[in-house]
Amino acid sequence: MKLKTLATAIILTSIPMTGAFAAAMDRSGQSMSAFLQPGNYFEAGISILDPTVEGKESGTSETRRNIEDMAGDYYFPSAAIKLQLTDKFSFGLIYDQPFGADAEYTGSNVFTSAPGSDTVLSASAVNNIVTSKAVAALEAQNIPVNEQTLAAAKQQVLASPAFQQLNGALTAANGYLGEGNTKVEVDTQNLSMIFGVEPIENFSIYAGGVYQTVKGKLSLRGQAYSLFNGYDATFKETAGTGWLAGFAYQIPDIALKASVTYRSEIDHDAKSDESLSLMNFAGLPAVLGGLGVSAEQLAALGQTGKTKITTPQSVNVDFQTGIMANTVAFANVRWVDWSNFSIQPYKFGKVSEAVGPLVGRPDGFNLVEYSDDQISATVGVGRKFNDQWAGNVSVGWDSGAGNPVSTLGPTEGYWNVGLGLQFSPAPNYFIAGGVKYFMLGDADAQTAAQAGSSDYVASFEDNDAWAYGLKIGYRF
């Protein structure tokens, strides 16, 4: 079964939208296929994603309103060049945008805020505080806690001068909450510089450095975020470096190609401009003090510092083989270490440490974190119809990164189906395009303060996305 010409004709196993709506913030899929092409090779591509993510308030939310589409459309480019310097040595550059987020809530729900529409603490949160104080008072007096004694103790708490003062301060603080919509935008760029060597025929190893930039901005609004309703952060573009390494085995005559690639995590110390509208309330120290926040914690709220962001390590496994004349089967498996990923902006962290004990998080909490690693897989078949035309079909699956998930990305994995088509006007260049339909996994969304628990504030079901990709390739 001679498939050498087919091996150079079909590139569609990685049309440029492989990971367009993957778990957490994974976007590009970080493919190495361009570097593994024979000879000198250049490609450039663009991917466009059009998702629909709608939901409804649920869980701990005190209302049950519908949530309009909160997922933004976005596009991301990619490019690569591979030079075969000698029979044994090769060099390549790959540019992509591996991670990102783009979302904004609109309408009237717990993620948006209008003047006078929200309170610093919800009615259920105030009730929890009253109950906690009542139980503590009963236990201090060695009085058994039951329905009757608890009800009487709660009435005493509500009538106490200390609580009346706290309640008045909370009411005044309501006027200092944020207005507008919850929204997030995160952009990353990667430039990978790769060196390869073929110590024996058909087997190659490669490694190189990765230069990565990260920037983003975030606004939290609405009753869901309680004290953080009015939090804004801008993360200035910062750079970090990492590395990659892998190996590949190829038998061109039968279109066999297999590779394993590891990419390291990359650390960033981002300068962040953070603000919390509630900090403009002169009575905030009294409010927090009444809620049990210590003087030391209050003093820390005015501090500033950098935010550490570490993008996750990953492993890609790619496989392709001829199965009959002019036909190949292909597969890709990707693992991303999202369970060890978290973001805690500096000032956000100080506030979370101060109010964390109120929600059972004495050490504070992260702005974003994930409970599970991501595993995704794509399998498909590509076929060369003639010297100019080839196409493929594929099916993909993504595990997601845990459920409940962050309110800033409320889906859990997906199934997808894809179609690709490639036109080669001449043997040395081609134009490829593709489309994928994503059936997004249902998810419950939780705020940062709820992460790690089973609590959530909204549910998102029956959502989907369309992705479109275009790529050009040239051999020289």
pLDDT, position 11: 43
Q: Residue 305: pLDDT above 90?
A: no
Q: Identify the CA nearest to 176 among candidates 222, 229, 219.
A: 229
Contacts 24+ apart (CB under 8 A), 80-83: 80/34, 80/35, 80/41, 80/42, 80/43, 80/44, 81/34, 81/41, 81/42, 82/34, 82/35, 82/37, 82/40, 82/41, 82/42, 83/40
Question: Which CATH number goes with the domain that contains 267?
Answer: 2.40.160.60
Q: Residue 17: pLDDT above 90?
A: no
Q: Identify the CA nearest to 61 among candidates 127, 6, 109.
A: 109
251 and 393 share one domain: yes
Q: How confident is the model at residue 20 (pLDDT cuts 50, 70, 90)?
A: low
294 and 355 share one domain: yes
Burial of 387 (0-12, 13-18, 19+ CB in 10 A): exposed
Tokens of 184: 């997030």
Could you give the 3-state DSSP secondary structure of residue 343? Answer: strand
Q: Identify the CA nearest to 380 among candidates 26, 11, 6.
A: 11
pLDDT, position 287: 82
User: Bigger pLDDT: 222 or 17?
Assistant: 222
User: Bigger pLDDT: 314 or 303?
Assistant: 314
pLDDT, position 21: 67
The continuous run of DSSP H or E covering 171 comes out as helix 161-173
Q: Residue 12: pLDDT above 50?
A: no
Q: Residue 286: pLDDT above 90?
A: no
362 and 238 share one domain: yes
Average pLDDT, the chain: 90
The continuous run of DSSP H or E covering 134 comes out as helix 123-140
Q: Identify the CA nearest to 316 among candidates 396, 261, 357.
A: 261
- Mean pLDDT in residue range 185-206: 96
49 and 157 share one domain: no
pLDDT, position 2: 39
Q: How confident is the model at residue 59 (pLDDT cuts 50, 70, 90)?
A: very high
212 and 276 share one domain: yes
d(CA 43, CA 434): 15
In a domain, 53, yes or no: yes
- Mean pLDDT in residue range 403-427: 93
Let me know: does 129 contact 119? Beta carbons within 8 Å.
no
The pTM for the full model equals: 0.91
Let me know: does 269 contact 259? Beta carbons within 8 Å.
no
123 and 255 share one domain: no
Let me know: does 402 contact 410? Beta carbons within 8 Å.
no
Q: How confident is the model at residue 463 (pLDDT cuts 50, 70, 90)?
A: very high
User: Bigger pLDDT: 6 or 245?
Assistant: 245
d(CA 8, CA 475): 10
How would you classify residue 402: left for phi > 0, otherwise alpha for psi between -120 and 50, otherwise beta? left
Highest mean pLDDT among 113-117, 228-232, 288-292, 362-366: 228-232
Which residues fall within 8 angstroms of residue 280, CB to CB, at 6 or more apart? Answer: 176
pLDDT, position 129: 84
Let me know: does 106 contact 181? Beta carbons within 8 Å.
yes
Q: Residue 19: pLDDT above 60?
A: no
Last residue of one domain, picked from the residues 158, 176, 194: 176
Which residues fall within 8 angstroms of residue 430, CB to CB, at 6 or more apart? Answer: 9, 11, 422, 423, 424, 472, 473
268 and 323 share one domain: yes
Q: Residue 75: pLDDT above 50?
A: yes
- Reported as a single tens digit per residue, the pLDDT across 169-181 is 888 999 999 999 9
CB atoms within 10 A of CB 325: 11
pLDDT, position 452: 86
User: Bigger pLDDT: 440 or 117?
Assistant: 440
In a domain, 113, yes or no: no
In a domain, 392, yes or no: yes
Could you give the 3-state DSSP secondary structure of residue 185? Answer: strand
- Mean pLDDT in residue range 171-197: 95
Last residue of one domain, picked from the residues 159, 176, 193: 176
> Which range (71-80, 124-133, 446-455) has the least confidence?
124-133
147 and 223 share one domain: no
- Reported as a single tens digit per residue, the pLDDT across 306-346 is 899 999 999 999 999 999 988 999 999 999 999 999 999 99
69 and 93 share one domain: yes
Could you give the 3-state DSSP secondary structure of residue 41? Answer: strand
In a domain, 328, yes or no: yes
Q: Residue 283: pLDDT above 80?
A: yes
In a domain, 285, yes or no: yes
d(CA 202, CA 206): 13
172 and 199 share one domain: no
In a domain, 108, yes or no: no
Sign of CA dihedral 449, 454, 457, 459: positive
Which residues fall within 8 angstroms of residue 45, CB to CB, at 6 or more apart? Answer: 15, 16, 77, 78, 79, 469, 470, 471, 472
d(CA 156, CA 170): 19
- Mean pLDDT in residue range 430-456: 93
Q: How confident is the model at residue 294 (pLDDT cuts 50, 70, 90)?
A: confident
pLDDT, position 1: 34
In a domain, 237, yes or no: yes
34 and 142 share one domain: no
Q: How confident is the model at residue 354 (pLDDT cuts 50, 70, 90)?
A: confident
Backbone angles phi and psi of 69, in degrees to 5: -50, 120
Q: Residue 258: pLDDT above 80?
A: yes
Q: How confident is the model at residue 10 (pLDDT cuts 50, 70, 90)?
A: very low
Domain count across the chain: 2
Q: Identify the CA nearest to 244 among candidates 265, 259, 258.
A: 265
In which domain, by residue range, is 327 found?
4-103+183-475
Chain centroid, CA 446 distance in Å: 14
pLDDT, position 222: 95
pLDDT, position 300: 74
Sign of CA dihedral 358, 364, 365, 371: negative
Q: Residue 157: pLDDT above 80?
A: yes
189 and 228 share one domain: yes
In a domain, 109, yes or no: no
Q: Residue 247: pLDDT above 70?
A: yes
